Amino acid sequence: MVLGILFYSGRKSIAAARSEEEKERAVAANEAKTAFLSNMSHEIRTPINAVLGMNEMILRECEDPAILQYAESVRTSGNTLLGLINDILDFSKIEAGKIEILPVDYHLCAVLNDLVNMIKPRAVEKGLFLALDFDKEIPKQLHGDEVRLRQIITNILTNAVKYTEKGSITFEIGFEKTESEPDCILLHVSVKDSGIGIRPEDMKKLFLEFERIEEKRNRNIEGTGLGLSITKNLLEMMGTSLQVESTYGLGSRFFFTLKQRVVSWKPLGDYEEAYRELYKVHKKQKGKFTAPDALVLVVDDNEMNLVVFESLLKSTKVKIETAESGDEALKLTREKTFDLLFFDHMMPEKDGIETLHEMRAQEENPNRNTPVICLTANAISGAREEYIREGFDDYLTKPIDSETLEDILLTYLPEEKIKTVEMETESASGLSEEFAPLNGLESIDVRQGIENSGSKEAYLSLLEIFYESLEEKAEEIEKLYESGDMKGYTIKVHALKSSARIIGAASFGEEAQKLEDAGKGEDIDYIREHQEGFMENLRKFKAPLSEMFREEEKGKELDRPEADAALMEVMYDEIKSAAEDMDCDRLEGIFSEMEAYTIPETDAERFAKLKEKAGRFDYEGMMEILCS
């Protein structure tokens, strides 16, 4: 009997030892995974920093509308990639218990403005109506984790757009006061969509990591499948939870209530107006600046990162010296005095922390007390505190944000070396003056058009193309409708829809979307009922756009000689040759040269059509015009 007890006891102790060993292995594996993801963050963010940084310089300095559009696509895709990496890192940090909630004072109008500007272009691109319902009585300044609040709402809004093919997204913000805590409010956030909805049996998968409901149906939707899991965990850390209501096939509503302390009870009012007022104050405090007498040292083992850094600060006129290793940096800091130092954290042989410690220990080093900023791709929570403990004054994450970099300079450079300059911003009134002919045309959102196009210059170019091809497109659609060619009609309406959305004509784009859907569904009755009104609305763009472009051309033509028949013949031959070779640069040069002449009335329409086709790289269309 005693032997049996001892044997049983021995089995228990072996099982306990094995259990303890398995736990230790699991903890070690989790720590290894977290370390791997942290290192992966650095390795992936370094090339992304170079790509996005150089692309930023293209957006700043290039004036070619086509290249600007390509660069905007690079920026969008790069930020999407960065978002995927951040999702994986956040999930890793949550698992490791390293996520922190860091409350600060924040302006609600700035949060709402950024969220709307982030989601609106995505919704417009898909033809979705974005409805906003913000309670104007919400206190305008609150205290909470602004960064995590933005992240949570961004995840919910992005999901709503991803899983909604047509219809609308409704974004609501409300609040209620709390009797027990008079200095706090309960912030109510809700996002409702008319998307695919969720089956009851799929609800349990909704918050699982790396899971996507109806995988086959949603295979083309980008993402890691971590967004809602991260959102749920963050809200639970903030003392609340994410609620879901959904009807399959009709849509879903995601909502939560979050307690926030009130900093100012002044009501929000119109969030856009509140943001403009806040921006004016911020602009007066900050402003653009130059610092031509300031000397900065940047240390990074990646040459591309150094090029990006210098490019981002080109407009500030700051003198920049660079080094590619810790030892090279130490040599430079012993030789001359800098106003500010930037050390990359992870460098071979001697990293940024070791370089900093060695420099601070050198009593004769003239930069012993110079502010030092850590450059890092380490996105792990608590990084700032770690770097400050090591002796850095601040840190800057990669990819480097140009505004954050300028803020760092304003904070740490000597005041006497900073020279403020007048901000060259486009006020609402300045914008309306330039686009005055569109003032009475509520169907075009000029600001949205500029945002969609990448710059004001690119937008003007796209507006001109839209104007010059408007009548041709209208005639094509009418002919296809009258001939009963619904397939051709649907294709042309689809193309017009895309053009309308790009120039900021969202409501007209929605009309085109409905006609396109009717064409695809062979709903002839709907097309017959709406065709006339649709064409009437299309031609309403003509008069104001004509005022913008034709009057401008007439004014220029007064000082130009008229091109004679011989010149026109040579010009057509040159255009034909360039079109055959698909040489867009030659075509651009030909049309630029012809700007010095007034085009004869007999050739005006033909020339305008050729220019419009060239702007769209439609070489086949150009050949048809030239050979007709």
Least confidently predicted of 33-37, 399-403, 459-463, 613-617: 33-37
Give the residues across from 616 on adjacent strands: none
Give the per-residue pLDDT at 598. Answer: 79
DSSP string, 352-374: HHHHHHHHHH-TT-TTTTS-EEE
pLDDT at 454 over 60: no
Average pLDDT of the chain, as a whole number: 76
Q: What is the pLDDT of residues 498-552, one digit of tens each?
A: 677 777 788 888 888 888 888 888 888 888 888 888 888 888 888 777 777 654 4
Q: Helix, strand, coil proportions of the chain in percent (round to 5)?
A: 60, 15, 25
pTM > 0.75: yes or no: no
What residue ranges define each of the domains in the chain, with the CATH number in brackets?
26-96 (1.10.287), 104-285 (3.30.565.10), 291-418 (3.40.50.2300), 436-627 (no CATH)
| pLDDT tens profile 383-399 | 667 788 888 988 887 76
572-590 average pLDDT score: 79
Q: How far apart are CA 392 and CA 299, in angstroms?
A: 14
575 within 8 A of 587, measured Cβ to Cβ: yes
- Cβ count near 216 (within 10 Å): 6
pLDDT of residue 521: 83
Q: Are 258 and 187 in contact (CB under 8 A)?
A: yes
Res. 428 pLDDT band, cuts 50 70 90: very low
pLDDT at 283 over 80: no
> Which pLDDT does position 425 carry in this prediction?
39
pLDDT in tens, 70-113: 776 677 667 666 665 665 555 555 554 556 677 878 888 888 88
Residue 420 clears pLDDT 80, i.e. is over it:
no
Question: 614-619: long-range contacts at Cβ-Cβ below 8 A with a sequence spacing of 24 or more?
Answer: 614/575, 614/579, 614/584, 614/587, 614/588, 615/461, 615/464, 615/465, 615/468, 616/465, 616/469, 617/582, 617/584, 619/579, 619/580, 619/582
Select the highest-mean-pLDDT range: 287-291, 448-452, 463-467. Answer: 463-467
Strand-pairing partners, residue 190, are 172, 255
pLDDT in tens, 6-62: 455 555 566 556 667 776 776 666 566 556 655 565 566 667 766 777 777 677 667
627 falls in which pLDDT band (50, 70, 90)?
A: confident
Closest CA to 520 of 503, 497, 500: 497
Q: How many residues does the chain have?
A: 628
